[in-house]
């Protein structure tokens, strides 16, 4: 497939970003089944949580020409999401690409493949998620393939340019703005109630009694 370049996505709504920065990401897992990346994609650098707009990049196994191009177009708060076409041996993201992203203000990067120069990236502070590490890197072969701001598949999830990327030590979630906007207030309310639930457990309460699960079990086994 020849090179395909799509339009830059719209900025994320600022009010939604503010709420997402406060919510516990696993709370969203109480309400969603789709959008969660393969757990094999883990944080390999950085410590910050990630909330940002997806800038999608599709590369080939050995060629990172498109990623180098995309790195110069990243805007503050963007998350570069890289589909390597299933290759996990060649690392497209190393110190130079990570530096370019940091200097452009990127919020993070997610690679469905490998990263390299991990000590140097750690020093930059950029949150990076990948399947692992490799000393074998991509090259600039100038192959007529790849894409920017096109639908990609990362961690088994279809990611569209402009989707929201949420990532922390637990993993990565990709979701559209409407999906997250519809449930964020409910998730924040759940987070607000959780400390009280923990205190009731500390006082000797039974989890099933407090959540209603025990009543459900009794009703189902009568």
Q: State pLDDT tens for residues 49-104.
A: 999 999 999 999 899 999 999 999 999 999 999 999 999 999 999 999 999 999 99
CA-to-CA distance for 4 and 182, rounded, in angstroms? 32
Reply yes or no on whether the pLDDT at 107 is more than 90. yes
pLDDT of residue 154: 98
The average pLDDT across 151-178 equals: 98
Please state the rounded mean pLDDT for residues 182-196.
Answer: 97
Query: Rounded to an integer, what is the distance from CA 201 to the centroid of its chain?
Result: 32
Please check whether residue 8 is in contact with residue 154, taking contact to mean a CB–CB distance below 8 angstroms. no
| Residue 126 contacts residue 108 (beta carbons within 8 Å) | yes
Q: Is 149 within 8 Å of 8 (Cβ atoms)?
A: yes
Contacts of 192 (CB under 8 A, 6+ apart): none
CA distance 220 to 25: 31
Can you give the pLDDT at residue 149?
98
Is residue 173 within 8 Å of 167, Cβ to Cβ? yes
Mean pLDDT, the chain, integer:
97
Three-class SS of residue 114? strand
What is the predicted pLDDT for the residue at 1?
Answer: 61
Q: What does the chain come to in residues?
A: 222
Q: What is the pLDDT of residue 50?
A: 98
Look at residue 147 and tell me whether its pLDDT is greater than 70. Answer: yes
């Amino acid at each position: 497939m020849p090179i395909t370049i799509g339009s830059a996505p719209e900025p994320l709504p600022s009010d939604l970003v503010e709420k997402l920065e406060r919510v516990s990401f696993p709370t969203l897992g109480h309400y969603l089944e789709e959008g969660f990346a393969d757990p094999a994609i883990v944080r390999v650098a950085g410590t910050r949580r990630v909330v940002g707009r997806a800038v999608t990049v599709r590369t080939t196994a050995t060629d990172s020409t498109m990623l180098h191009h995309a790195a110069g177009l990243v805007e503050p708060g963007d998350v570069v999401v890289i589909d390597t076409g299933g290759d996990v041996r060649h690392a497209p993201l190393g110190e130079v690409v990570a530096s370019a992203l940091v200097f452009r203000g990127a919020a993070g990067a997610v690679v469905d493949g490998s990263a390299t120069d991990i000590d140097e990236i750690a020093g930059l502070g950029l949150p990076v998620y990948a399947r692992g590490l490799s000393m074998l890197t991509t090259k600039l072969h100038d192959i007529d393939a790849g894409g920017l701001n096109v639908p990609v598949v990362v961690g088994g999830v279809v990611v569209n340019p402009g989707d929201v990327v949420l990532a922390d030590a637990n993993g990565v979630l990709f979701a559209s703005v409407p999906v997250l906007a519809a449930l964020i207030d409910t998730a924040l309310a759940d987070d607000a109630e959780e400390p009280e639930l923990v205190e009731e457990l500390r006082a000797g309460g039974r989890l099933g009694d407090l959540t209603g699960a025990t009543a459900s079990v009794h009703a189902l086994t009568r």
